[in-house]
Structure 1
């Protein structure tokens, strides 16, 4: 059985796989980690913003603007919370949409279509857990490829001298 913990504040870490709205007046976010589920009082956007500031001293908006320049996209862009640790979050909707779910790129093993549900995708993680998102498989694949581009942008200097 998965352990559920309730917290006041949550910071994204290497175990964070999914951040989604929880639709509860007190615990507004549900976070799925590799070995536990966390309910947090903050909204997903607040969690991401405070984690961006803590991990690199830049706000969510600052990182979003930087990635808009890198990718030449303005909608549904991945957010590099801590690219040095591989923490790149993929949105399933517009970044500020209250129903947006966020998936950590480096935990994704595969994305599969769900029979009879053309606008839903099952995301399979490396620990063999899965999570259903309201996004077509082709759009989810595009989001994963865009996150890979962002990830590569930040780590390429380690390999190029």
Structure 2
């Protein structure tokens, strides 16, 4: 990873791997790890997740409610920041806790329990870090996020099937009979 750069504002992207809280005096900032770089932002990780949800067209509460509706998950909910681009994050603890990190689901390549009781994670770009949660907790969060992603994929496929069915049942018109749009 490259050296940290300071940025004032940040929204997650398909290249975001991890958002981690860091203390600067009495204030909590975020250390953001991307595919090819690291950044420090003067906002809490939760604020970045909320702002990112808004950037992609919904509120955090709306995304959280969507997760509950699709999966039944109500605590430590994974969040589809942008379901269209498959940008899904999960929290390492309760999101209201100051030490909560947010991890990008699709970037995790492997994980192993370490001798401290934490879990070492390798991301798809080869970067390795330790997350302060047990391997069973991480596996649970991965499972819950996979469930959410699968439900989105199912809904998209169902919508496409319905569209194809409706589109096939509409009688074809001659070119000169098509309505003006």
TM-score of the superposed pair, with normalisation by structure 1: 0.92
2:138 to 112, 137, 140: 140
Distance in 1 (CA, whole Å) between partners of 2:80 and 2:61 is: 11
Q: Kindly state the Cα deviation for residue 141 of structure 1 after the two structures are TM-superposed.
A: 0.7
Q: Does 1:6 align with 2:10?
A: no
Q: Kindly state the Cα deviation for residue 90 of structure 1 after the two structures are TM-superposed.
A: 1.0
Within 5 Å, which residues of 2 pair with 1:107-126? Answer: 107-114=107-114, 116-118=115-117, 120-126=118-124
What are structure 1's unaligned runs of at least 5 residues?
Answer: none
Within 5 Å, which residues of 2 pair with 1:8-23? Answer: 8-23=8-23
Q: Which residue matches 1:86? A: 86
Within 5 Å, which residues of 2 pair with 1:59-74? Answer: 59-74=59-74
Q: How many residues align?
A: 158
Distance in 2 (CA, whole Å) between partners of 1:99 and 1:27 is: 9
What are structure 2's unaligned runs of at least 5 residues?
Answer: 162-181
Q: Which residue matches 1:131? A: 129
In the TM superposition, what whole-angstrom CA distance separates every residue of 1:3-37 from its partner, at most 9, and x where no partner exists?
32101111100110000101114670000001000
Distance in 2 (CA, whole Å) between partners of 1:147 and 1:76 is: 10
TM-score of the superposed pair, with normalisation by structure 2: 0.82
Q: Which residue matches 2:166? A: none
Moved over 6 A (4+): none
Other structure's SS at 2:11 match: coil
Higher strand fraction (1 or 2): 1
Q: Kindly state the Cα deviation for residue 159 of structure 1 after the two structures are TM-superposed.
A: 3.3
Distance in 1 (CA, whole Å) between partners of 2:74 and 2:98 is: 17
Other structure's SS at 1:22 match: strand
Are the structure 2 counterparts of residues 122 and 87 from structure 1 closer, same or farther at C-alpha, using a change threshold of 3 Å? same
Are the structure 2 counterparts of residues 72 and 158 from structure 1 closer, same or farther at C-alpha, using a change threshold of 3 Å? closer
Q: Does 1:106 align with 2:106?
A: yes
Q: Kindly state the Cα deviation for residue 68 of structure 1 after the two structures are TM-superposed.
A: 1.8
Q: Does 1:38 align with 2:39?
A: yes
Mean Cα displacement is larger for which, 130-139 or 30-39?
130-139
Distance in 2 (CA, whole Å) between partners of 1:73 and 1:51 is: 21
Rg larger for: 2
